[in-house]
Structure formats: C-alpha cells, structure tokens
Amino acid sequence: MTRSPSPSSGSFRLFGVPVRIHVSWILLALFLAWSLAAGMLPAVHEGLPRGAYWGAAVLIVLGLGASIVLHELAHTLVGRAMGVRVDRITLFLFGGVAELSEEPTRPRAELAMAVAGPAFSMVFGLSLAALAGLLEQRPEFAGAQMALDYLATLNLVLAGFNMAPAYPLDGGRVLRALIWMATGDLDRATRIAARAGEGLALLLMGVGGLVLFTQGAAGGLWWILIGLFLHSAARGAIADLDTRRMLAGRPIAELMVRDVETVPDRFTLDRFIDERLLGSRHALYPVEREGRWIGVVAPEDVLAQPRDRWAQMTVGEICRPAAETPAATLLEDAGAVMTRMRSQNTPRMPVVHAGAVVGIVTLQDLLRSLDLSRRFGRTPG
C-alpha cells in the first residue's frame, strides 16, 4: 500500500476498483515465463514435453499476477469498509500497490488493512497447495499440478515476506499500527517502522551483494533491487513525515500562487493559444463560465485536437471537467495537500473557493519552499 510509478500500459476494473498494469510488470512477466519454461521447471520436473513446461510457465505468470492483484484487493476492500479511500491498484515490477488517497486516520483501520493482504495470500496459497495435491496422481494434469505447486509456494512466500516488520511492507504497517495504538503518536510510530524498513533494505542489499559476488547468481541482483526499492520507500515515508510536520496547521492559501490566469470557456482554441498560451506559457489553465470554475485545460489537450478544428472548437468543449480534476480548498492543510498531490501523481492543483479558482499550488513550489525552510531554519509561508 503505497504510491506507484507511472505510466501504465493497460487497465481494467475489479469489484469496481480500477486496476492498472505497469509496463515494468509485462517485462518481468515475459522474463519470468522464459526462465521458468527454459530452466527452472525442466530442472525440477524432468521428462515432460516442452509444451507442458511452457503451459505451466504461462499459468504461473498469469496466476502470480492474479495473486498479487487479489492480495491488494483484500487491502482495498477492507480499507473501503473502514472508511479509507483507495484510488486504484497498480501491478508493477516489485509486485503490487493499493494507492491510497490519504493515510488511515485510525490505528485499527491501518491494522485491519495491513493484515488483510497477507491473510488472503496465506489462505489462497494453502488452498492452491491442497488442489495441487489432488492432481498429483493424475499424469494428464502434470502441467497444471506444477503450476499450482509453484503458485502455492509463491503465495506463501508473498505472505511471509510482506509480514516482515519493516515499513512500507504490510508487517511494517502492522508494527506502525500497534505502536500508534500504544503511544497515540502516529509520527513516532511511522518513524520507528520506517527505520525498521531501512534496516531490512540494507540487510537485503547486503545479502544480495554477497550472493552476487560469491555465487554470481542473478538472484543476488534481484535482492539488491528489492532492497533499493524498500530503502527508497522507507526514506520517502520519513520525508513525508518531516513534510507534514513543517506544513501542519498551515492552510494552502499561504503557499499557493495567487496570480491565476484563467480562460473563458467560449474562447476558441486559436484564441486561447494566441491570447493565453503563447504569452504566459503556464502548464495548466482553469476554465471559467460566468465566473465559475468548470474545468482545466493544458497545452497537451489542445495538441490532441485536429489543427483544422482549432478555429471552431472552444476551450469549454475540450477542458477536463472540474468534477474529475483534483483540487484543494482554500483552508485545506498544506501538508495534506502535498501528500495528496504525491499520491495522485499530480504536479499542480487548482485551489478553489466558493466555486471559483483563487490560486494554483504546484508540487515544485512546495518542495522549493520546504528546501528553503530547511536551509534557513524558518517555517514556510
């Protein structure tokens, strides 16, 4: 449960939850299928036709993807039942993530969400192992039995590894929730759990380096990559914590850019380009109709339209509706806004009051403000 990279290469919905497939997962799936069919499966299960190995490899890869998505779906459904909004699930190189709009506000919600994923993987893995056992005496199902055996093991490993008490793994979130319950201090709990995550990351990188240089195994490099990812995520959690502390209690109105250049919805695209875009070169323009905000338009939205229609099409026709645009309110906590921008991969966000855009906040400006405040020892704003 954390932020995920972009871009995605495909998406679908499962129980109403958007699921994205990142291009890195597709590359990993292709490599995993080849390594299973060409080496791992024939070495363990000898004497089977080549097609059986490839069939089992494909089943394993598809089953692994499904297992990770269902693991994250367990987090998501429990989170939604506890009142935590989850935007989407993303399948990527290092597994899967349930992207949260905001962190849980109660330790019990954090604990329930964190336990749900590994609990599902454990039950699912045992169920697959039992099914594989039923097929063990059926030679005609040798490929399916191989696949089920591997998937059972992978699900059990997934459950066990994720329960390591190191943030941002599920076990780290369990640790954070328990410390939060005991102390009532979320910041302290986050810092302790994230430090544990850094420790595990360094251990994984150390073990990976030892394996890589003593045995020359590619698995060593994989452990190093996982360690680097966990270390980055743990450091990011500590940075987010420091950010929230520095911005806590400060309304976004104090840090937003007040000089907002809007565009009337009746402007044609040609007029928008000539009178707004070429002169100011902003990356985002709020669109207004009779003084009320109805959406936003960006240069890429114009470029996506046929050039021979620019003289006839209006900005109001192509703008992204306000209802679908992430926005902040004038008195919203600046730390919460920054967390939301990061989790939603939103580099800039309009600030809205009484139905009108009164400012623009950009992630770059917030980060610059934080950097200056750290260097000069002053509170931003």
Instruction: Return the closest-CA partner of residue 95 out of 75, 81, 123.
Output: 75
Tell me the angle at which helices 107-135 and 170-183 cross, rounded to the nearest 10 degrees: 150
Q: Are 21 and 188 in contact (CB under 8 A)?
A: no
Name the DSSP class of 49: -
> Given 46, 72, 140, 254, which residue is catalytic?
72
- Please give the angle made by the CA atoms of 12, 15 and 16, to the nearest 5 degrees: 65
**Spatial distance between the Cα atoms of 311 and 271, rounded to a whole number of angstroms:** 8
Q: Are 60 and 30 in contact (CB under 8 A)?
A: no
Instruction: Return the closest-CA partner of residue 291 out of 262, 250, 257.
Output: 262
Instruction: Return the closest-CA partner of residue 366 out of 317, 333, 321.
Output: 333
* Residue written as token pair 């394993």: 60
Q: Which amino acid is at 18?
A: P
72 has catalytic annotation:
yes
Return the active site residues.
72
